[in-house]
Amino acid sequence: MRKVIFLDRDGTINVEKSYLHKWEDFEFEINAVEGLKKLKEMGYEFIVVTNQSGIARGYYSEEDLVKLNNEMTKKLKEFGIDILECFYCPHHPEKGIGKYKVDCNCRKPNPGMLLEGIEKYGVDIENSFMIGDKKGDLEAGKKAGLKSILVLTGYGKKVEEEIRGKYAVAKDLLDVANILKK
Ligand SMILES: [Mg+2]
Ligand SMILES: [Zn+2]
């Protein structure tokens, strides 16, 4: 069974920019690549789980999103880091247009994307984690039976106080690696 780190994307892997959808605007978060390298050395594999309501709202298309994720995956591969799969939720229960206006099970804090990843890749949930910068990430992880860790990049600092004592907190992805090493 595989030890997997489930990763939120915006604010966790890359710098949070409202409704990012162009590769030219993509910037890795501080210590993200270094952290992923270290986690890989520790035997973890990676799955990305990202809410993309910008699709539901009509700001960009699923094609745009897949293209951006592919660029990111390619860049990470150059650093020796493989992503098993990028799952995304294109829905929004209220703001969605047409077929995207769905109260789905994949939009975090719902655990749909994580459960799909766990099933598809035979994930060892006892030794796997969900990492993100929002409360919804942490809750989705918990609902899927994983331990969740907040990173203080992205929106992390804003939610730190609220979740302290309930979830583990790390400065960034490199700090996640350091914490899991202990
Ligand atoms: Mg995020
Ligand atoms: Zn969804």
- The distance from CA 46 to its chain's CA centroid, rounded to whole angstroms, is 9
CB-CB contact of 138 with 112 (8 Å): no
Confidence of residue 182 (pLDDT cuts 50, 70, 90): confident
pTM above 0.95, yes or no: yes
Give mean pLDDT, residues 118-125.
98
Mean pLDDT confidence for 3-16: 98
Instruction: List, for residues 19-49, the tens digit of each pLDDT value.
Output: 999 999 999 999 999 999 999 999 999 999 9
Question: pLDDT category, 92, cuts 50, 70, 90?
Answer: very high
User: Which secondary structure element, helix H or strand E, spans residue 111, and what is its range?
Assistant: none
13 CA to centre of ligand 1 in angstroms: 8
Nearest to 151 by CA among 125, 121, 180: 180
The pLDDT score that the predictor gives to residue 141 is 98
Ligand nearest to the CA of 116: 2
Residue 99 Cα to ligand 2 midpoint, Å, equals 11
- The pLDDT of 150-173, averaged and rounded, is 97
Alpha helices (H) in 104-154, listed in sequence order:
112-121, 135-143
Distance 155 CA to ligand 1 centre (A): 7
Mean pLDDT of 110-134: 98
For residue 17, how far is its CA from the centre of ligand 1 (angstroms)?
A: 10
Ligand nearest to the CA of 103: 2
Ligand closest in space to the Cα of 100: 2
Residue 150 C-alpha from the chain's centroid: 11
Give me the active site residues, please: 8, 10
pLDDT at 127 over 90: yes
- Mean pLDDT computed over every residue of the chain: 98
Domain 8-181 class, CATH top level: alpha beta
